[in-house]
Homo-oligomer: A and B are copies of this chain.
Amino acid sequence: MNSIYIYLAAASGILALIFAFILASGISKQSAGNDRMKEISGYIHEGAMAFLNREYRYLAVFVVIVGVIIAAFIGWETAICFVVGAIFSILAGYFGMIVATKANVRTAEAARHGQSQALKIAFSGGAVMGMSVVGLGILGLSILFLIFDGNPTYLTGFGLGASSIALFARVGGGIYTKAADVGADLVGKVEAGIPEDDPRNPAVIADNVGDNVGDVAGMGADLFESYVGSIISAITLGAALFPKGQGVLYPIILVSIGIVASIIGAGIARNSKNSNPQKALNTGTYIGGILVIICSAVLSKSVFGNFKAFFAVAAGLVVGMLIGKITEVYTSSDYKSVKVISDQSQTGPATTIISGLAVGMKSTMWPIILIVIGILVSYFVMGGASNATMGLYGIALSAVGMLSITGLTVAVDAYGPIADNAGGIAEMAHLPASVREITDKLDSVGNTTAAIGKGFAIGSAALTALALFASYAQAVNLSTIDLLNPATLAGILIGGMLPFLFGALTMESVGKAANEMVEEVRRQFKEIPGIMEEETKPDYARCVEISTAAALKEMILPGILAIAIPIAVGILLGAEALGGLIGGSVVTGVLVAILMANAGGAWDNAKKYIESGVHGGKGSYAHKAAVVGDTVGDPFKDTSGPSMNILIKLMTIVSLVFAPVILKYGGVLLNLFK
């Protein structure tokens, strides 16, 4: 196979990393403000690094164990790819976090000089995460592709490595951030009556660290996984379909184009002088997307001689953007749903909860319909009514299309927590109100971009999982996965149940971890004299430590379940049942993820809407009810909801990697009846 274009892909990865490096050095050169600011940002940086280092120790053990299992049952090549995938995902998170914890304080300092300067730094910080994700993703894949001559079985190991890290980063990070957040709020705001981001609150640093851990590193790892997963699926299916290599060429060039388009889009957003930061970010994203769509048409014609592949790619990209837009409609106070929830807050917390849940449940409709349209268009345009494998390749291309601008969407998404952190630092360092005003505005835009980013992450997880699902079916030689087979039905029921179980476990974990935090903060207020008078500093590190330990401990059970259950079901009930399990988990996982993300986002903004002066404003009966909604929404949108993306992708890729084992030993229980 002519592998010249793999070098091109590697080059585009390196280009992304160079761009990231330039952005990072640019950020470093900015002033980090006064000593107080440096001190605070130092704490956050240290806390974030403490979490990462601890996490990496856990990860090292995990990667070694799973690597040995893979080497023993599947082969050493897959094990190597697995380890490389894990390391590259870790590196992306590491770069992103280092720069994010530098950019936050510099954003606060820049906000002294105006909004556009602050936006530039915050967005640049996010862009480092985005470019690291796509750069390391495509570089890692290219290198392994060259070494192992594109062997699909080996490459899936890379996906599994990425998936495993995403589990730790997204689930652990989600537990971390909400334990710290709830703990800080419950004792600080409610019991001690001090404002948010007050330096006297012992959990305040952990809370700010949490924003980075969950929303920068966690989200980055999630999309790293989707990104490489969709590419692996497309090149795996494509290699089998086109002996001359066009099937691999097309997606590889497409992602290279996507990287260039993302760099252009990021440049536009970063240097925008638009006074509305939301518009600046949107313009950049849309331009990036349109560039990809145009190029994919030209590419489709020149590689395949027709526009079929272009339609598949465009379908994915448009669906991804529309899902983001719909998320905004359900979670922004500019639209009806959030207003309904805030109206219902007037009759108390119960009606707030009911209406928020109803909004979340209802909000699943359009994203599902869009995903369905995306699937049908990409499948049937590419494969027609008769060529199934070609159709599945179309679905994989549409996932690649949606994810081609990952660099840009991660940048926009990771910008949020940086702006949020900047606000926290401004508050803690007692910077002038005008600074806080700017950071608040940037932060509020960040909330919307976070919601949109979540919608995008869910949509891409669904398409990636479905694309990998097609690869799985091929790997275990299934030409059908029949719903009328009771084993498949059993698999679907079990798979459908798992997101519910996973959601319950992660919500309980947040509860437990938050309780520990509450007790620690109470203890410090009681035992350390002078905290309230700002004479003594609270023990920030202890709170960081608690969040870190709880996050890592609490994710072990859900993690083991996500890996062990697919293998167990495959071995007991066979490959077809495992196919059913994947299908069932994708369906309910996507639904629960959308429900949780949108209900959580809507409650959050209903509270903020009331705080803006509606229904009696802050402190009113309606506001208290809205706070209850927001608190319920916290683990929904930041822990359990995003965990669903990981769950469905991880279970799919575990099945794919362990396909040889399932093929050999699968169905021992059913064989009893033969």
A624 to chain B, nearest CB (A): 9
Question: For the complex, is A457 an interface residue (Cβ under 8 Å from B)?
Answer: no
Given A372-B490, A591-B497, check contact A483 B380 (CB 8 Å): no
Nearest to A489 among chain B residues (CB) is B375
> Are A504's CB and B362's CB within 8 A?
yes
Report how far A490 CA is from B500 CA in the complex, Å.
21
Residues 371-387 of A, flagged 1 when their CB comes within 8 A of B and 0 if not, give 11001100111001100
Interface residue tally for chain A (C-beta within 8 Å) = 82
The one of B496, B507, B579 that contacts A358, using a Cβ cutoff of 8 Å: B507
Report how far A489 CA is from B372 CA in the complex, Å.
8
Question: For the complex, is A223 an interface residue (Cβ under 8 Å from B)?
Answer: no
**What is the total number of copies of this protein in its complex?**
2
Chain B positions within 8 Å of A591 at CB level: 496-497, 500, 588
Nearest to A506 among chain B residues (CB) is B358
Chain B positions within 8 Å of A635 at CB level: 354
> Are A483's CB and B580's CB within 8 A?
yes
A633 to chain B, nearest CB (A): 9
Report how far A10 CA is from B357 CA in the complex, Å.
46
Within 8 A of B (CB), among A490-523: 490, 492-494, 496-497, 500-501, 503-505, 507-508, 510-511
Question: For the complex, is A268 an interface residue (Cβ under 8 Å from B)?
Answer: no
Residue in A364, A388, A479 with the greatest tally of chain B CB atoms within 10 Å: A364
Q: Which residues of A contact B (CB under 8 A)?
A: 186, 344, 347-351, 353-355, 357-362, 364-365, 368-369, 371-372, 375-376, 379-381, 384-385, 388, 391-392, 395, 466, 470, 473, 478-490, 492-494, 496-497, 500-501, 503-505, 507-508, 510-511, 573, 579-580, 583-584, 587-588, 590-591, 595, 627-628, 631-632, 635, 670-671, 673-674
20 A-B pairs with CB atoms under 8 Å apart are A348-B628, A350-B627, A350-B632, A354-B631, A354-B632, A361-B501, A362-B505, A365-B501, A372-B494, A375-B489, A384-B674, A385-B670, A388-B484, A473-B484, A480-B484, A481-B483, A482-B483, A483-B488, A587-B587, A588-B588
- Known A361-B503, A372-B493; further 20 A-B contacts with Cβ < 8 A: A349-B628, A354-B507, A354-B511, A354-B632, A354-B635, A355-B511, A359-B504, A364-B500, A364-B501, A365-B501, A375-B493, A380-B486, A385-B670, A388-B485, A481-B483, A489-B583, A492-B587, A493-B590, A496-B496, A584-B587
